[in-house]
């Protein structure tokens, strides 16, 4: 068995367009007056063909349409991509095909056509259940509109997740607890709950630097909110299975699990990354980031790949640790050793156990709740 089979095989399609740019967002997303979707469909299909040559004979476990805002795609574009994937690979009988959607009425109208195209899971960016906060986050929908879109999604799909952003400006612990309880009572099977991160190069990043982004929580308040998040979701049978992701048992995002369990995935679309095991090597693939350059690259050169880098065994093991320590199931230390050729340092493990940041169960290294709050520091320490 190849190492990637521990995680599975998935396909990520990046749709880089949005109706407006949110002030906090540093994803590769752009606002364009018009997008020629048939040109994009052809280019995406061409890139899929290139990837299929490198992964022949595999079964696809998951497809994920992410963005940007893939709910702005025409259902025909989505259908065309899924059809092409089905021609090029074998699809798992229980394949998960997710699409990220913004909760506006325009997109909700398309949900039934997305279902007909083959989508079987929706991940909706509701972000907040408070109108003032939606405005502050620069969102184009109201709470009412989001709830309506969510109901339409539920009518069309068995599996519907939604995202909320917390640790927002002027949000108190009690505010968040009440809002999260409301969200939990709405939820179907999955919730993604992210702390607001201030990213360089965004509008919020600029405001923060100038000292003009008022009311952001300090680390201690944000950590308390993280603890509240764990308690409330647990009470509602949606415990965390990853730092920011919560699900009822069996409803975890299988696509994201492929990343966190360090499986293989193809990334198609501007800026999409991939990890492909090929001829005994694990390759990191990188594509052109700018949408127009990506499209021209595929049309003129037959590919948008700008870099294929062989990841050495030590770096593979580090990537595996960084990804899987995010999961509640943790890192399989035997697998780590097999990838790297060297076991993790026992002294470092013992020190972090003593500090209450990790625990070991059945040879799996697991970050505790405290450890997950400072995961990056913990990872750095373990990988010295
Ligand atoms: C790339 S977005 C795509 C979803 C969709 N376009 C939307 O906005 O609803 C995925 C999710 O990342 C989260 N996100 C993006 N930027 C963030 C930030 N700076 N801090 C916290 N969460 C963020 C949001 O919850 C968002 O729903
Ligand atoms: S949060 Fe979503 S809608 Fe807003 S800019 Fe980012 S990708 Fe686009």
Sign of CA dihedral 129, 134, 140, 142: positive
Q: How many CA atoms lie within 13 A of 384 on its CB side?
A: 9
Q: What is the pTM of this model?
A: 0.97
Selected from 3.40.640.10, 3.20.20.70, 3.10.250.10, 3.30.70.270, the CATH number assigned to the domain covering 3-259 reads 3.20.20.70
CA angle (60, 63, 65) in 5-degree steps: 165
Which ligand sits closest to the CA of 195?
1
Among protein residues, the one whose CA lies closest to atom 16 of ligand 1? 25
User: Which of the ligands is closest to the CA of residue 69?
Assistant: 1
H helices within the chain, ranges in order? Answer: 37-54, 75-88, 105-108, 111-117, 131-136, 143-156, 173-186, 203-209, 219-235, 254-260, 291-301, 313-324, 333-340, 346-354, 369-373, 375-382
- The closest-lying atom of ligand 2 relative to the alpha carbon of residue 25 is 6
Looking at the CA of 103, name the nearest ligand. Answer: 1
Ligand 1 pocket, 199 CB below 6 A? yes
Q: Is 57 helix (H, G, I), strand (E, B) or coil?
A: coil
CA-proximal residue: ligand 1, atom 8 (nearest) = 125
Query: Which tokens go with 199?
Result: 């990213």
Is 196 close to ligand 2, i.e. is its CB under 6 Å away?
A: no
Ligand in nearest proximity to the CA of 126 = 1
- CA 154 vs CA 72, 76, 245: distances in Å: 19, 21, 19
Structural contact between residues 87 and 118, judged by C-beta atoms closer than 8 angstroms:
no
Compute the distance from residue 102 Cα to the ligand 2 centre, in Å: 8
CA angle (311, 313, 319) in 5-degree steps:
70
Q: Where in the chain is the domain with CATH 1.10.10?
A: 313-384
| 208 C-beta closer than 6 A to ligand 1 | no
Closest CA to 128 of 110, 112, 106, 147: 147
β-strand partners of 307: 286
Residue with tokens 């965004």: 202
CB distance 125 to ligand 2 below 6 Å: yes
pLDDT (0 to 100) of residue 182: 98
Question: For the chain, how are helix, strand and coil distributed in percent, rounded to 5?
Answer: 45, 25, 30
Taken as a whole, the chain contains a residue count of 384
Instruction: Compute the distance from residue 378 Cα to the ligand 1 centre, in Å.
Output: 25
How many contiguous H segments (helices) and E segments (strands) does the chain have?
16, 15
Position 307 scores a pLDDT of: 81
Q: Which atom of ligand 1 is nearest to the CA of 164?
A: 25
Q: Which of 13, 19, 122, 125 to mutate to test the pocket of ligand 1 (most atoms within 8 A of CB)?
A: 125
How many whole angstroms separate alpha carbon 372 and alpha carbon 369?
5
Tens digit of each residue's pLDDT, the chain (384 residues): 899 999 999 999 999 999 999 999 999 999 999 999 999 999 999 999 999 999 999 999 999 999 999 999 999 999 999 999 999 999 999 999 999 999 998 899 999 999 999 999 999 999 999 999 999 999 999 999 999 999 999 999 999 999 999 999 999 999 999 999 999 999 999 999 999 999 999 999 999 999 999 999 999 999 999 999 999 999 999 999 999 999 999 999 999 999 999 999 999 999 999 999 999 999 999 999 999 999 999 999 999 999 899 999 999 999 999 999 999 999 999 999 999 999 999 999 999 999 999 999 999 999 999 999 999 999 999 997
Query: Which of 22, 30, 135, 165 maximizes ligand 2 atoms within 8 Å of its Cβ, making it the mutation to test the pocket?
Result: 22
Pocket test of ligand 2: the residue of 14, 21, 32 to mutate, having most ligand atoms within 8 Å of its CB, is 21
Q: How many angstroms is it from 250 CA to the middle of ligand 2?
A: 28
CA of 26 to the centre of ligand 2 (A): 8
Counting ligand 1 atoms within 8 A of each CB, the residue from 100, 183, 253 with the most, and so the one to mutate, is 100
To 5 degrees, how large is the angle CA 95–CA 100–CA 106?
A: 125
Query: Ligand 1 center to residue 125 CA distance, Å?
Result: 7
The ligand placed nearest to the CA atom of residue 18 is 2
Which numbered atom of ligand 2 lies nearest the CA of 125? 2
Amino acid 102: pLDDT:
97
Sequence ranges of the chain with CATH classification 3.20.20.70: 3-259
Topology at the third CATH level for domain 313-384: Arc Repressor Mutant, subunit A (1.10.10)
Ligand 1 atom closest to the Cα of residue 123 is 4
70 CB near ligand 1 (under 6 Å): no
């Amino acid at each position: 068995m190849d190492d990637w089979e521990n995680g599975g095989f998935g396909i990520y399609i990046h749709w880089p367009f949005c109706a407006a740019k949110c002030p906090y967002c540093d994803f590769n997303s752009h606002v364009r007056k018009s997008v020629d979707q048939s040109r994009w469909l052809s280019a995406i299909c061409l890139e899929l063909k290139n990837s299929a040559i490198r992964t022949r004979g595999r079964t696809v476990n998951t497809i994920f349409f992410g963005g940007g805002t893939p709910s702005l795609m025409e259902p025909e574009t989505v259908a065309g991509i899924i059809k092409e994937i089905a021609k090029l690979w074998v699809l798992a009988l229980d394949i998960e095909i997710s699409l990220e959607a913004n909760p506006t009425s325009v997109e909700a109208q398309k949900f039934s056509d997305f279902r007909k195209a083959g989508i079987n899971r929706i991940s909706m960016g509701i972000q907040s259940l408070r109108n003032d906060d939606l405005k502050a986050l620069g969102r184009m929908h109201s709470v009412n509109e989001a709830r309506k879109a969510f109901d339409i999604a539920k009518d069309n799909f068995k599996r519907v997740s939604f995202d909320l952003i917390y640790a927002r400006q002027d949000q108190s612990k009690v505010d968040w607890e009440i809002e999260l309880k409301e969200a939990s009572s709405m939820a179907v099977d999955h919730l993604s709950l992210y702390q607001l991160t201030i990213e360089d190069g965004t509008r919020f990043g600029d405001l923060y630097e100038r000292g003009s982004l008022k009311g952001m929580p300090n680390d201690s308040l944000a950590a308390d909110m993280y603890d509240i998040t764990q308690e409330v979701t647990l009470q509602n049978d949606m415990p965390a299975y990853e730092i920011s992701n919560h699900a009822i048992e069996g409803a975890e995002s299988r696509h994201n699990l492929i990343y966190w369990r360090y499986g293989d995935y193809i990334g198609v679309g501007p800026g999409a990354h991939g990890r492909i095991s090929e001829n005994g090597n694990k390759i990191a693939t990188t594509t052109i980031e700018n949408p127009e350059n990506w499209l021209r690259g595929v049309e003129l050169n037959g590919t948008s790949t700008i870099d294929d880098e062989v990841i050495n065994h030590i770096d593979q093991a580090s990537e595996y640790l960084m990804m899987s320590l995010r999961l509640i199931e943790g890192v399989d230390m035997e697998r780590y050793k097999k990838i790297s050729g060297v076991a993790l340092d026992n002294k470092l493990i013992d020190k972090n156990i003593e500090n209450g940041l990790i625990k070991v169960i059945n040879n799996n290294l697991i970050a505790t709740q405290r450890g997950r709050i400072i995961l990056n520091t913990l990872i750095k320490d373990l990988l010295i």
